[in-house]
Amino acid sequence: MKAGVSIFRDRNGVAHIQAESVADLYWGQGFAHGTDRLMQMCLMRVLGQGRLCELLHDDDDSLNIDRFFRRMNWSKNVCKELEKLNVEDHAALESYCLGVNAALAKSYPWEFKVLGFHPDPWKPKDCILMSRMLGYLTLAQSQAEIERLFIEMVQAGISKAKLDELFPAILGGFDLELIKKITLGERIVEPSSLWNQTMPRMMASNNWVVHGSKTKSGKPLLANDPHLEANRLPNVWYESVLIGGDKYMMGASLPGIPGILSGRNNDVSWGVTYAFLDSLDSWVEQCQDGRYFREGGVEGEGAWHDFEMRKEVIRRKNNPSTLMVYFENEHGLLDGDPNVEGFYLATRWAANDAGVASVVAAMNLWHVNTVASAKNCISKIETGWSFVLADTHGDIAFQMTGLVPIRDKGISGFVPLAGWESKNNWQGFYPPHLLPNCTNPDNGFLVTANNDLNKYGVVSPINACMGSYRAERIADLLLEAKSLTFEDMRKIQFDVYSIQAEEFMNIIKPLLPDTPQGNILRDWDLKYDIHSKGAYLFERALKCIYHDVFATNGLGSKVFKFLSQDTGVFIDFYGNFDAVCMREESVWFDNAKRDDIFKIAVERALQGAPRTWGETQHFMLKNIFFDGKVPSIFGFDKGPITAMGGRATIHQGQIYRRDGRETTFMPSIRMVTDMARHELHSCLLGGPSDRRFSKWYDSDIVNWKKGIYKLLSPMPKKKYRFK
């Protein structure tokens, strides 16, 4: 152990790091991460580097994963990014890495030893890689997916009128004939094997903050429950408490990155959700002979330019190496071969070369002491997040972060534009203060739940997002409340009432038949609890409605089946599809009446005996290394667990298949803090350690299932040896 650093566990196994200097605190956090989560960190690094076939497992699926990460090229320009660090931040980041390496020198996972893999030392560039992965997988990725689906719908002949209804007010610059010319390489409606359990999908979350005028303590309350792919062990989050003198910082961290991403210090608390900010655009490039075209030039006739060609060699343990060639220009990575004449997409993510500012912000939250200073700190984060904040002075705030491109007037970033026209280029990025943000609103609270938050900004960075149902429900519960406490926040986090179901049932109820199933649905309380048969029947009805509106009248049954069963399109962007379904008249109805479509769909859904919602909601927590391949008797996987909630309830409980495997969206961790007390309540779906035979491997699962929150405090009642 480093001199001057003390690490111990509390009764729940959470690591407490005590030191006098900030650099030593991050050394201790690195040591704790390296002790408890080295397998998780190294697996994520291997993925991010695109070296899965080389170092761990060599098969066709692994090769596809390596191809994806090599294409993203997140390891580039890291040295240039690190040069931006000041002396203090560089020392803290280096110290964190030294702490990880001290743990690595002491021991490393036996799973790696079996494969003959000895992890390299952890370096600052690896922290930047983790930051880039966290910001994209699959946050910006979801935006890329819906934009690619739009292109495929155009090419499949979906009419402009239908597209305008499904994607209202964001199709500026739409050129139908140009999009039809695009040759697509990677298609949404073909399954792939890009994901495994190591890096979870991180999509939905709730956070809200309440002013002291509405709380019992007279100080703000803040709640956060990130919803992500939770069917994994270890949990992606690692809880820790950093203590330096009379200061502290505690909450959820991501192993591989120093600092606390969601939590609090003495004076300020912060909670985070994904913002659905569009920072990823595509352009159509006209290509031939390995070059791309640009209009203008000296003679005004345009000119052809060479792509920057990047070669990547994927080394393989059991097969010959694979050479990958990528073509790039100022619009990003080309999806195609420019040597074959045609029109291809080039795609750029604004934060692709960034990352260091996000890492620095996570560390520097240690120093913030007001909401204003916290907003300034997080505003430098390059990726798209929605933060809610509170301080002991009584202020509350919301701040969106991320690099938002400045585009031509009327362009939202959703539709691919002609790459050869200079007016379509990005013109830099908007300053953070123009992004959606708010301080001390009149209603006394702020809520974000992956919904449209453009109303809070001078600019509007969101063009496609989740529906507003969860945010509306949280707001409804807070609006009339007074003297709110932690227990009230806990109850809200467990709320399973669906406003989505309420709105659909207003249409469906008069159409229901007088049958046992019809009566169950008619009398349903609109709650997705595990014993509800109404929730089960409603989900069947909604799926049939979606099918009869979108498959029958446009997408086709085969494409609809794939999108609904093996992608996140209907999971992430259900608000767009709901808005069409609930219109009294729509071009998607193909001259039929809405109520007639609903009636036929619902009658079909009510056939057969109903089940309880819980019967369909079982999932396993799978070890990220073995991914369910080890017999259950060995205890690497835990479960089954029954999840309550649905897609549009505050407590999300979504279980579905994506890219050929089961995935989930539900609260990975729940946190609540009252700024009147130096404590934080939390429960984690997992435990502190990724070591199967550690007592801390699954120590918080029972609490998570029962809704029991443990208490994090800088002064725990008992201290236990860290080992």
* Residues 133, 72 contacting (CB under 8 angstroms): no
* Residues 522, 602 contacting (CB under 8 angstroms): no
* Residues 686, 701 contacting (CB under 8 angstroms): yes
Tell me the two tokens of residue 437: 């943000």
Q: What is the pLDDT of residues 506-548, one digit of tens each?
A: 999 999 999 999 999 999 999 999 999 999 999 999 999 999 9
Tell me the two tokens of residue 672: 């609540």
Strand partners, 271: 388
Nearest to 130 by CA among 99, 101, 97: 97
Q: What is the pLDDT of residues 261-282, one digit of tens each?
A: 999 999 999 999 999 999 999 9
Distances (CA, A) of 645 to 225, 401, 419, 612, 650: 14, 29, 44, 12, 8
Any idea what the Cα angle at residue 212 is, between residues 209 and 213, rounded to 5°?
A: 115
Spatial distance between the Cα atoms of 709 and 535, rounded to a whole number of angstroms:
27
| pLDDT for the residue numbered 494 | 97
| pLDDT for the residue numbered 488 | 97
Tell me the two tokens of residue 182: 């695009």
Cβ atoms within 10 Å of 585's Cβ, excluding its own = 9
| pLDDT for the residue numbered 144 | 77
Tell me the two tokens of residue 645: 């909630």
Mean pLDDT by 10 residues, the chain (723 residues): 94 97 98 98 94 94 90 86 93 98 96 94 96 78 81 92 94 95 70 43 82 98 91 94 97 97 98 93 97 84 94 96 96 96 96 91 97 97 96 98 96 96 96 97 97 96 94 96 96 98 98 97 98 97 95 84 76 91 95 96 95 95 90 93 95 77 85 98 97 96 96 94 91
| pTM (two decimals) | 0.95
| pLDDT for the residue numbered 198 | 54
Cβ atoms within 10 Å of 608's Cβ, excluding its own = 9
| pLDDT for the residue numbered 192 | 39
| pLDDT for the residue numbered 194 | 35
| pLDDT for the residue numbered 141 | 67
Terminal Cα-to-Cα distance of the chain (whole angstroms): 11
| Structural domains for the chain | 499-615 (1.10.1400.10)
